[in-house]
């Protein structure tokens, strides 16, 4: 990758509001971008699949990414018009106070609000030292009564998404919300587009999967597998970067290439597949980082135990500060991940896939 990669698709994906169970706006972008690339369908939870056929009896290769981002749901509207909420996915109270959010109404309209915080002037000594839980916070919409809030079209059960801007920082680094996992969705879509434009017959049938509800337990990836029926799956993620000060043994450094995840507590990648991808990266001069993670998890959790078992690997674009309003990636890693996925898919013929389960 020498040219600067066009980030317009990624920025639209990252800015779209799509908490678990409310992935509609992201699905719309994905569907439009994959139009003409393959046949598009969806499962009954809302995961979208795009199939580009290969040769008859060729292997079925799934490229999975999840559309949802960590968000919230309206639990109650107080008499003073504030919103009590539950988190959808993993949040830390420290990153929430005084942040902007959008409430997604039934009609799809976004109503802006802020998560209320006490000014330091009013804090007791004990309050200064504590971390609040999301369920003890309130969203302020500028209204003062329940009726006023309801008049905005807000109802219990509405989803809530973080709100932020797309920012370009020094050295080409970009910052936005939801890089977990809109970078994975972007890599999936752009790889499918490139494979679709490439007329050379692939042996494998490639199925791009944009799954729902990963952040609440890898749910859509499980149901989508019933339709994609993969022989092998590549899970594409925005993986947490660990190149922050004070972290030794780094395995996810911005700018050092896509990460191949060998292990996390939810899945062990297929060893032959990891080494295969490593070889393909080397042949194509794509830098990579290999990771063994003692925490976290991905859609590999549901996919690798589907049916009689599916060899999986997780390819991640390192992203700093995920599960906040201000995650950061190096677009060079994003472009390299697309190059790698395309090269890997082209290399996975029937013989290569059979080696993955030649026990
Ligand atoms: Zn993720």
Model confidence pLDDT, tens digit, residues 2-58:
578 999 999 999 999 999 999 999 999 999 999 999 999 999 999 999 999 999 999
The rounded Å distance from CA 215 to ligand 1 centre is: 7
The β-bridge partners of 178 are none
Q: Which class is domain 8-69+177-356?
A: alpha beta
Report the C-alpha gap between 341 and 359 in whole angstroms: 25
Report the C-alpha gap between 154 and 75 in whole angstroms: 11
pTM (2 decimals)?
Answer: 0.96
pLDDT tens sequence across 131-157: 999 999 999 999 999 999 999 999 999
DSSP conformation letters of 44-89: TTS-EEEEE--STTPPEEEEEEE---SEEEEEEE-TTS-EEEEEES
pLDDT tens sequence across 210-232: 999 999 999 999 999 999 999 99
Dmax over Cα atoms in the chain, in whole Å? 70
- Residue 146 φ/ψ, nearest 5 degrees: -60, -40
The rounded Å distance from CA 106 to ligand 1 centre is: 26
Query: Which region holds residue 157: left if phi is over 0, alpha if psi is between -120 and 50, else beta?
Result: left
Q: Which residue has the tokens 């942040």?
A: 99
The rounded Å distance from CA 176 to ligand 1 centre is: 15
Report the residue count for the chain: 359
Task: Specify whether the CB–CB gap between 104 and 154 falls below 8 A.
Answer: no
The rounded Å distance from CA 334 to ligand 1 centre is: 15
Portions of the chain given CATH number 3.40.630.10: 8-69+177-356
165 is catalytic: no
Q: Name the CATH superfamily housing domain 71-162.
A: Peptidase M42, domain 2 (2.40.30.40)
- Considering the candidates 69, 214, 215, 237, report the single residue annotated as catalytic: 214
Report the C-alpha gap between 220 and 134 in whole angstroms: 25
Portions of the chain given CATH number 2.40.30.40: 71-162
Report the C-alpha gap between 297 and 260 in whole angstroms: 13
The rounded Å distance from CA 198 to ligand 1 centre is: 29
The rounded Å distance from CA 180 to ligand 1 centre is: 5
């Amino acid at each position: 990758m020498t040219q600067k990669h066009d980030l317009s698709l990624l920025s639209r994906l990252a800015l779209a509001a799509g908490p678990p169970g409310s992935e509609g706006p992201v699905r719309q972008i994905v569907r439009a971008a994959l139009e003409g690339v393959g046949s598009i369908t969806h499962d009954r939870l809302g995961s979208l699949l795009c199939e580009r056929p290969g040769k008859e009896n060729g292997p079925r290769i799934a490229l999975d990414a999840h559309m949802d981002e960590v968000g919230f749901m309206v639990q109650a509207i107080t008499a003073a018009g504030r919103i009590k909420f539950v988190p959808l996915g993993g949040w830390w109270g420290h990153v929430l106070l005084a942040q902007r959010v959008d409430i997604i109404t039934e009609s799809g309209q976004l109503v802006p609000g802020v998560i209320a915080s006490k000014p330091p002037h009013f804090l007791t000594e004990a309050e200064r030292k504590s971390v609040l839980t999301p369920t003890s916070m309130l969203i302020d919409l500028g209204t003062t009564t329940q009726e006023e809030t309801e008049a905005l079209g807000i109802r219990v059960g509405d989803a809530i998404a973080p709100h932020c801007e797309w920012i370009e920082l020094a050295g080409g680094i970009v910052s936005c919300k939801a890089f977990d996992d809109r970078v994975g969705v972007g890599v999936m879509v752009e790889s499918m587009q490139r494979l679709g434009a490439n007329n050379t017959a692939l042996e494998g049938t490639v199925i791009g999967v944009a799954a729902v509800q990963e952040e609440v337990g890898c749910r859509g990836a499980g149901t989508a597998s019933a339709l994609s029926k993969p022989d092998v799956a590549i899970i594409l993620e925005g993986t947490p970067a660990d190149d922050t000060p004070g972290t030794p043994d780094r395995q996810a450094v911005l700018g050092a290439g896509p990460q191949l995840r060998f292990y996390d507590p939810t899945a062990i990648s297929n060893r032959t597949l990891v080494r295969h991808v490593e070889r393909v990266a080397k042949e194509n001069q794509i830098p990579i980082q290999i990771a063994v993670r003692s925490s976290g998890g991905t859609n590999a959790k549901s996919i690798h135990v589907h049916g009689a078992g599916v060899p999986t690997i997780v390819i991640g674009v390192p992203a700093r500060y995920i599960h906040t309003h201000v995650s950061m990636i190096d677009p060079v890693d994003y472009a390299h991940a697309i190059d790698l996925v395309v090269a890997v898919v082209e290399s996975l013929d029937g013989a290569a896939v059979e080696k993955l389960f030649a026990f």
